[in-house]
Each structure stands twice: as structure tokens, then as C-alpha cells.
A and B are shown apart, each in its own frame.
Chain A
Amino acid sequence: MKGSFVRPNPLPGFGPAFGLTLTWVSLIVLIPLAALVVRPWSLGIAGVLASLGSPRVLAALELSFGASLGAAAINVPLGLLVAWVLVRGRFPGRQLADALVDLPFALPTAVAGIALTTLYAPNGWIGRLFAPFGVELAYAVPGIMVALVFAGLPYVVRTVQPVLMDLPADVEEAAATLGARPPQILVRVVLPAILPALLTGFAMAFARAVGEYGSVIFIAGNMPGLTEIAPLLIVIRLEQFDYSGAAVLALAMLALSFTMLAAVNLVQQLLARRGG
């Protein structure tokens, strides 16, 4: 294969298609990201480290990634449950429920944020139930989690749903005839089969949550060091014309997100090699 990295392929036009893809990916993804990687170093290495090490930045990063991981972790069982009900259930309004799952995709995030804030504020329908016990939902970390769970749910449902649909019923029946009880069938047969899809759903819900901005800023309260998420801090830096400071934070988010997604990918490859 010397001199060519394109294997013979019956599909024509691979060359132009490859070139177009490369150009497109460069314009849309690579060049903006490269700018992001280059920009902060005008501060010098010490400046970058100092900017990253400030308590406000660290708190924002911790909140963004911690809450996103938490929300994705909540979305996995929740989304699995929803997908399970939608795939296996036969109830009136199933198709309506199926369509509703996509709403967080379509709703402007600010609308979602305002709606959730109204519900979860101390005088809202749901917040009111918790207020007497001194539990604050809106303007606190739980509120942020609610917004992130809302944004990420459809990703888990939509990745798991087709896999569940394709899961042949005879595998579960085989397990039953071999003496397995329903919980054993779920844990030993069904979950391993959908684990790769669950992981993908987790990764996507996590990625979405890290980038979520519009809905969170309404419900979070945005107190620096407490309920201020990293994307908001970036915007604040920009408004103060601190472009390098904003870029430092953005670069940190990029690196962290990339590491996490790469880790999920690695686990999936290990699973795939296992024959799953």
C-alpha cells in the first residue's frame, strides 16, 4: 500500500470527498479550537497558571464538571427507565410521551431555565414543598443539577432506545428457561448488552451539561465561588475585556472535556474488544 493511504474502494469520488471533509472540519472545528489553544499564552506560562489557580476559577470548574458528571450519572438510570418504558410499554399516549422526550433538544435553553426556576424557586410549585425544611433548590447546586438533568435526558434516552428495541426477546427468554429470575436477567443479560449505548448516552449528556449555559444561569443564582458555572465566568471575563483570562478558562474546559470523552471512548473500545 506504499504511496497511498486510500484502500481501493468501489465508491467513486473519495478524493474530493476527503478534501471537502478536511476543509469543513478545519473551518468549523480545528481552526477555532487552535485559536483557543494559542490565545491564552499571551499571558505567559506564569500568567496562565495564576489565572487557573485563582479560587473563583477553580470553584467554577469544579462546579461545572462536578455537577455535569452528577447530572449525567443521574440521567443514565433515569434515561434507561424512560427508554425501557417507551420501548416495552404499550400504553395510551406512548407516542406523545416519546415525542416529549425530545423537547429539551428543541426548547430555547433560556425558556427551560425560566420555567425550571419558576417551579423550583422557594415559592414555586415544587420549591414550596422543600422550603419548609430549609432545603433550597433554585439558586443552589440542586437547582443547577435539575437544569443539567433536564438538558441531558434526551441524549441518554435516544442512544439507549434503539439498542433496547433491537435487543432480541429470545435472549431474555433463553435466560429465563435457564433458570434466571427477572432481576438476574436484567443485570446479567440486558444491562451488559446495552452498556456501550449507556456509556455513549452518559458521554453525550455529560458533554451537553458541561456546555449548558442558558438554562443554568437563570436557576443557579450565580454567586461567585458557590453557584457560578465556568461558562458564565467566561462570559463575565469577556464582558470585562479580559480575553486572555476567558481563553485560559476555555482551554481548561476543553482539556478536561477532551480527557473525559477520551476515557469514555477507551472504555467502549475495551468493551467492544470483549465481543460485546
Chain B
Amino acid sequence: MSLALEAVSKRFGATPALYDIDLAAGEGEFLALLGPSGSGKTTLLRLIAGLESAEAGRVLIGGADMAGVPARARGVGFVFQHYALFRHMTVAENIAFGLRVRPRARRPGRADIRARVAELLSLVQMPELAGRYPDQLSGGQRQRVALARALAIEPRILLLDEPFGALDPEVRRGLRRWLRELHDRTGLTTVMVTHDRAEALEVADRVAILRAGRVEQVGTPAGLWAAPANAFVYRFIGDSVELPCTVQGGIARFGSASLPEAPCALPDGGAFALLRPHEIGIAAGGEARVRAVAAAGPAVRVEVQAGEFVVEALLPPGAVPPSVGSACRLDLGAARFFPLR
């Protein structure tokens, strides 16, 4: 089911947490909310679930305004960062919880509940663990139980709060792929909060980047990568090299003879250039000097001393690495310029 937020604002006491958020997720879409901690992304997710209330604005699920609808009646599946499993219940009892607490008229029979639990256990690939207690499971298994429990109520939308935040990197990667497959199979509209850019860019259809309670940009992972709206987005979605410069008459100068000038469309004044390390070209001969070379891994990492700056560049695979101490010059043609302040 579709989800829309219209001009949502939220404050905690005197501190504003979210400003005027407009955001939408279409039917079956996988939307990621990406931002540093304190950006308001978890608050936004809790607003959608009805665990917090907004000061202003509307939350619409399937086109219906959720104002005054308590969390229990919203039909959202919520997966908490620390799983929030019921420790005194077995895995099967945890998953069945949402069905057992339904009013009698809508509660499935015992056999139906058992069948549904078995179905969900096989969906999350742990049918043999039905009788275990949460304390007897690994982190990844707990996360999958939490997901199965949320799916048991046949939610209209699925909300995931840092679902892999507490797991090992290796487990994370596996679960990430598995989550995407699960999403494709169930077709459930999903919103995932994360501070891990790789996670957001790899899994989601669209990513909303939040900073300090505002949405900075919303786009597909490829779109964000190709056209970041501002320096924050540029820095947040990938590694970057930052070089301060001065713009005068359409030319950016870096204040160091060892860095080349570059054309720049910004008005005169202070600015800075942002580059991805792999976009920086290195050629032999020039005023810069190769400081260090790390050739382990798929790409060669070269550290160049250019005047007062240390620039890190990634050479394309197969390129011959320069020797340490040799003179070189940098090609900054791919730089994007942003005005200071």
C-alpha cells in the first residue's frame, strides 16, 4: 500500500526533530531513509508507525489519514533495531503474537495460526528453530524472527529501523540480499532506516537523504550518485576528496602551484571542489609528489602530496602504479564545485 507524508513536523520539547517533511513511497516500493545519527530518520519511521505523534502535517497510508489512529490499528509491521522479541516466548509464540491478540471475531483458529507460523518460519529459513527462546538465537536469527513476527499480521507497509545495525558485517551483507529478495517476493511497501550508505544504495529502490530533520534529496541510488543536490549528499553517499579554492572569472584556483586550475561556473568568491578518488587522474611529471602507494586490493590507492594538501586517488584496475617519491601532476577535471556557505 502507498505511503505519503505531507508537511510533517515534530519537536521534542523545545528541540525540533523534523521540519516540514514531504515524502512518498509508492505501492510496493522499497524506500530507504539514510542519514547520520540525529538526523531524525528513526523519529520519522516512528511517526509512520504511530509510536510518535506529529505536531503538524499528515501521514497517509493507502490514502487514508492516520491522524488519531493508534499504532495497533495502523497495520504496519515494525522491525526494531534491537529486535524487541518477547524473551519469555518461543520463536513460534513470538511470531503468533500478532494473530493471538486479535479480537475474537478476527482471530484465526489454532490450526490456522500454526500453519501461518510454519509458513513464516520457512519464509525466514529457520523452520527447525520454532521451539527455541530468543536468548538461544544468534543476532541474525533474532532479526529474522522479528521480521517474521512483523509479517505475521499481514501488514500494509513494513518499517525497518536499522535492521542490521547490531550485526557483523558479514551477516549484514547476507541478510541485506535476502531482505531484498523477500521484498521482491512479497511486494510489500517497505521503508528502511539506516546510516549505512552501502546498505541503502544497494537495497532500496529510492533513497531519501536526511540531515538535521530535513530531507536533503530523494532519488534512485544511481540518480543520487550521478547528480547529488549538494555537498552534503555528495559526501554522504561515497568517499570524497575535498579541496578548498577561490573562484575568479570562471576559473577555480587552489592556491597551490602543484594543483591545476579548473573551469568553474560559480560566481566569484570562496568555494570548494569535491571529487571521487577514482575520478582523479595522475600523470607523470609535475609539481606534486607521490607520497605512498597501496597496491593491495582491486584498485591501487595513491597518496599524493600537492603543496599543503594530501590527495588520495584510486587508479583504475590494470593501471601501472607510480613509484613512491616520483613527481606527478593531478587531473581534477571531474571536480564538482560548491560555494562556501
- Which chain A residues have a beta carbon within 8 Å of chain B's beta carbons? 168, 170-171, 173-181, 184, 188-189, 192-193, 195, 274-276
Contact residues in A for B73 (Cβ distance below 8 Å): 179
Interchain CB contact under 8 A, B84 and A173: yes
Identify which of A171, A177, A189 contacts B71 (C-beta below 8 A). A177
Give, as a whole number of angstroms, the nearest-CB distance from B270 to chain A: 46
Evaluate whether A176 and B88 lie within 8 angstroms (CB atoms) in the complex, with A170-B80, A275-B134 already known.
Answer: no
A181 with B72, Cβ < 8 A, contacts A170-B84, A193-B88, A275-B87 known: yes
B153 in the interface (beta carbon within 8 A):
yes
Q: Which residues of A contact B49 (CB under 8 A)?
A: 177
Query: Is B319 an interface residue when CB atoms closer than 8 A count as contact?
Result: no
Residues of B with Cβ closer than 8 Å to A? 49-51, 70-74, 76-78, 80-82, 84-90, 97-98, 101-102, 133-136, 146, 149-150, 152-153
Given contacts A170-B84, A178-B153, A188-B86, list 16 more A-B pairs with CB under 8 A: A168-B84, A173-B71, A173-B80, A174-B86, A177-B50, A177-B71, A177-B72, A178-B97, A178-B101, A178-B152, A179-B98, A179-B102, A192-B89, A193-B87, A275-B135, A275-B136
The answer to whether A178 and B98 have CB atoms under 8 Å apart is yes
The minimal Cβ–Cβ distance linking A68 to chain B, given in whole angstroms, is: 28
How far in angstroms is the closest Cβ of chain B from A193?
Answer: 6
Contact status B86-A275, CB under 8 Å = no
Whether A173 touches B97, Cβ cut-off 8 Å, given contacts A178-B149, A179-B102, is no
Residues of chain B lying within 8 A (CB to CB) of residue A193: 87-88
Are the C-beta atoms of B78 and A177 separated by less than 8 Å? yes
Whether the pair B72, A189 counts as a contact (CB closer than 8 A) is no
Residue numbers in B under 8 Å from A192 (CB-CB): 86, 88-89
Of A170, A184, A195, the residue contacting B82 (CB under 8 A) is: A170
Q: Which residues of A contact B77 (CB under 8 A)?
A: 177
Chain B residues within an 8 Å CB radius of A184? 101
Chain B: minimal CB distance from A36 (Å):
39
- Which residue of B has the minimal Cβ distance to A187? B101
Question: Which chain B residue shows the least CB distance to A169?
Answer: B84
Query: Using Cβ atoms and an 8 Å threshold, which residues of chain B touch A276?
Result: 87-88
Residue of B nearest to A192 (CB): B88
Q: Which residues of B contact A274 (CB under 8 A)?
A: 88, 133
Contact B80 A275 (CB under 8 A): no
Which B residue sits closest to A276, measured CB to CB? B88
Contact (Cβ within 8 A) A173 B78: yes
A-B contact pairs, 30 of them (CB 8 A): A168-B82, A170-B80, A170-B81, A170-B82, A171-B85, A171-B86, A173-B78, A173-B80, A174-B78, A174-B80, A174-B84, A174-B146, A176-B72, A177-B51, A177-B71, A177-B72, A177-B150, A178-B72, A178-B97, A178-B101, A178-B149, A178-B150, A179-B72, A180-B72, A180-B97, A181-B72, A189-B86, A192-B89, A275-B133, A275-B134
